[in-house]
Amino acid sequence: MTGATVLQAETVAIATSNDVVVVRQRVRALALQVGLSLVDQTKIVTAASELGRNTLEHGLGGQVEVSLVTNGPRRGIRLSFQDTGPGIADLELALRDGYTSAKGMGLGLSGSKRLMHEFAIDSTLGKGTTVTVTRWK
């Protein structure tokens, strides 16, 4: 991730499917505040929904830090999803289009990566996963 400066941040717990809805609402509100286009709003809200669902279903719950960031004249939104679940055994496989470990379409991680400008993932078996993404205006 770039050396961005955080202007404001909020943490949202993800323990139920309703929490994923709250995450989407908070991300959309911040996207409006930043002035993202409707297309960019849709991209970041879609990624937030997929990553929030992954945090809940595969990570057994966790949290997301939603941040307004700047890097020079650029403004954007950074989302950092964290869980203490089982971790991902094979990151390369999990990032492949079409891969699914559950009943989904297999577009969560790979699709989220394509929708965002920056994407980083760290996962340790038995300790959990952190996925951090950024979308710039």
* Domain residue ranges in the chain: 6-136
pTM here is 0.92
Answer whether 47's CB lies under 8 Å from 115's CB: yes
CA dist 45 and 28 (Å) reads: 6
CATH topology of domain 6-136: Heat Shock Protein 90 (3.30.565)
H/E stretch holding 14 reads strand 5-14
pLDDT digit string (tens) for 50-87?
999 999 999 999 999 999 999 999 999 999 999 999 99
Q: Which contiguous run of DSSP H or E holds residue 42?
A: helix 38-57
Please report, for residues 11, 58, 114, the alpha-carbon distance to residue 128 in angstroms, rounded to integers and kept in the order given.
Answer: 18, 10, 23
Give the angle 56-57-59 at the CA atoms, nearest 5°: 65
What pLDDT, in 10s, does the model give residues 9-56? Answer: 999 999 999 999 999 999 999 999 999 999 999 999 999 999 999 999
